[in-house]
């Protein structure tokens, strides 16, 4: 018996099975992403066409870089701030507060003021920021 020693090396690779696998994976990927993106149906509220005629008091609390507090431009301590905000809430229970903090302020000071407004039951607290680059 003689074994044939002359075997030709393959000069090309059959890529058909690899393409079949790629197509199957692509189909699975498309099916899975479309199934997870559908989301929930939510009924969003419609904006009113009439502007609100109610006017509520707004107090601006500014925190300076040194940590001092100013209420509508007047320097106050934390205790004075609390007293003045209580007086404002007594006049207008729906009064709102806007907080303007300097970027150099210690964040703990901002949290202290936010905790104070939360403990007092002020429902509307906003933050004043500037545009990026300003």
> Tell me, what CATH number does 91's domain have?
3.30.420.270
Q: What value does the mean pLDDT take over residues 68-76?
A: 86
The boundaries of the domain holding residue 110 are 58-127
Q: Which segments of the chain does DSSP mark as H helices, in order?
A: 16-36, 78-91, 107-120
Is there a domain that residue 12 lies in?
no
- Rounded Cα–Cα distance for residues 115 and 125 (Å): 11
* 97: CB partners within 8 A, 6+ apart: 58, 59, 60, 61, 85, 117, 122, 124, 125, 126
Q: CB neighbours (10 Å) of residue 101? A: 20
Give pTM, 2 decimals. 0.56
Q: Is the pLDDT of residue 68 over 60?
A: yes
Taking residues 76-101, what's their average pLDDT?
A: 86
Q: At residue 37, does pLDDT exceed 60? A: no
Q: How far apart are the C-alpha atoms of 124 and 107, rounded to whole Å?
A: 20
Are residues 62 and 126 in contact, defined by beta-carbon separation less than 8 angstroms? Answer: no
Split into its structural domains, the chain has a count of 1
Q: Please report whether residue 53 resides in a domain.
A: no
3 in a structural domain: no
């Amino acid at each position: 018996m003689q074994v044939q020693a002359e075997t030709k090396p393959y000069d090309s690779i059959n890529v058909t099975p690899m393409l079949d696998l790629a197509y199957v994976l692509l189909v699975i990927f498309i099916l899975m992403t479309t199934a997870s993106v559908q989301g929930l149906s939510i009924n969003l509220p419609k904006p009113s066409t009439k502007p609100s005629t109610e006017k509520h008091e707004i107090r601006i609390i500014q925190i300076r870089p040194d940590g001092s507090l100013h209420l509508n431009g007047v320097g106050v301590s934390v205790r004075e701030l609390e007293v003045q905000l209580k007086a404002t809430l007594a006049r207008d229970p729906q009064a709102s507060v806007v907080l303007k903090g300097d970027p150099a302020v210690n964040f703990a000071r901002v949290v202290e003021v936010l905790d104070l407004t939360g403990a007092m039951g002020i429902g509307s607290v906003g933050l004043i920021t500037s545009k990026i680059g300003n």
